[in-house]
Amino acid sequence: MAQRKAPDVVIRRLPLYLRVLEVQDTNESPIISSEQLAKIIGTSSGQVRKDLSYFGVFGKQGVGYQTTLLSTELRRILKLNQEIRVGLIGAGNLGAALVRYHQKNRAHQPLEIVALFDIDEKKVGRKIADVEVFHTDKLANAIHEMEIKMMILAFPAENVQHIIDICIENGVKSFLNFVPASVKVPEGVKLRTSDVTLELQGLAYYT
């Protein structure tokens, strides 16, 4: 079946569905309904069905989805059925917190942070949460050799575009960006910015 291109907002919900499925006891709940999924996530059952239909995944009407099967499908769709090697640039406070947090919470995730990068010579060679810090000068080679496909950006906003360009030239396909700067990526590369200040400003609306 030809698949329609799923919008980014749909892709963002898939890991949420997956998380819900993974905490289910599959003996107790071999089947989960779109209503149940929707309720836990805080969306509508119609939204759940529509989201999953983008990938040709349909539940049985009036019954629901097979928990294990849906979980496997979601992992396949998200490419989480294979190891993905992740790098992190910026071994400062934020970078260190991110890598520690990820290592602690990753459980059986195939996303592995394999290298940290920093321009500070004093940090190079050290390990944070068992991940070695390399000099940013070695970025191009390291990405290539370690086959890093995803990069987390957590360094002060200088030269961001230049760093991103090096990453892309060497095969990085997606970025999680914590750097408050305007940056551009070409078609076929995904960059998502996570900016605490922007988030807080948006939340001010609701105070």
- Under the rule (CB under 8 A), what is the footprint of its own copies? 9, 11-12, 14-16, 18-20, 40, 42, 77-80, 84, 86, 92-94, 96-98, 100-102, 105-106, 109, 111, 149-150, 152, 173-176, 180, 182, 184, 189-190, 192, 194, 196-207
User: C-alpha angle 153/156/158, rounded to 5°?
Assistant: 95
Least distance in Å: CB of 61 to its own copies?
A: 27
Residue with Cβ nearer its own copies (60 or 127): 127
Instruction: Of 99, 105, 104, 107, give the one whose Cα is nearest residue 178.
Output: 99
Q: At its nearest, how many Å lie between its own copies and the CB of residue 193? A: 9
Neighbour count for residue 150 (Cβ, 10 Å): 19
Tell me the DSSP string of 75-133. HHHTTTTS-EEEEEE--SHHHHHHHHHHHHH-TT-SEEEEEEEES-TTTTT-EETTEEE
Cβ proximity to its own copies, 74 vs 163, nearer residue = 74
CB closer to its own copies out of 139 and 179 = 179
65 near 45, Cβ under 8 Å?
no
CB of 162 to its own copies, least distance (A): 19
Separation CA 114–CA 87 (nearest Å): 6
Tokens linked to 170: 């060497």
Residue 19 C-beta: closest distance to its own copies, Å: 7
- Pick the closer one to its own copies by CB: 1 or 203: 203
For the bound state, the minimum distance from the C-beta of residue 98 to its own copies, rounded and expressed in Å, comes to 6
